[in-house]
Amino acid sequence: AQSVTQLGSHVSVSEGALVLLRCNYSSSVPPYLFWYVQYPNQGLQLLLKYTSAATLVKGINGFEAEFKKSETSFHLTKPSAHMSDAAEYFCAVSENNAGNMLTFGGGTRLMVKP
């Protein structure tokens, strides 16, 4: 069985500060890992994904995430926050098997202060 835990339902940073959104997963087989972003009144968009190639994955809008198997983590970072980064972020996992069903975390709402 697979699961995802996102620590912190709300994160607030100042514009220009480091963004760190935490995600830990549980999976019985090698996982695929994803970060989605949801802007207000929109659907979820894929930000980046890990599919067993490089452990450091770069996504859109300057975001990146590092797969750490020993820590079962896939934290999302961005060196310098922009006001436009304010959104809800979802971490998700699927297992490398025939079903590949996606399991979402509870989401983290990122607020960016001027």
Partner 1 sequence: DAGVIQSPRHEVTEMGQEVTLRCKPISGHNSLFWYRQTMMRGLELLIYFNNNVPIDDSGMPEDRFSAKMPNASFSTLKIQPSEPRDSAVYFCASRNRQGSTGELFFGEGSRLTVL
Q: What is the binding site for partner 1 (CB under 8 A)?
A: 32, 34, 36, 41-46, 49, 51, 90, 92, 94-96, 100-102, 104, 106-107
Closest contact distance (angstroms) between CB of 58 and partner 1 is: 16
Q: Report, in this order, helix, strand and coil percent for the chain, each rounded to 5.
A: 5, 55, 40
**Cα 54 → chain centroid:** 16
Q: Which is nearer to partner 1, 33 or 81 (CB)?
A: 33
**At a CB cut-off of 8 Å and minimum separation 6, what does 53 contact?**
none
Q: Which is nearer to partner 1, 56 or 114 (CB)?
A: 56
* Rg of the chain taking only CA atoms, in angstroms: 14
Closest contact distance (angstroms) between CB of 107 and partner 1 is: 6
Q: Which is nearer to partner 1, 79 or 106 (CB)?
A: 106
Closest contact distance (angstroms) between CB of 10 and partner 1 is: 12
Q: Which is nearer to partner 1, 39 or 80 (CB)?
A: 39
CA distance 65 to 99: 24
Closest contact distance (angstroms) between CB of 8 and partner 1 is: 14
H-helix segments, the chain? none
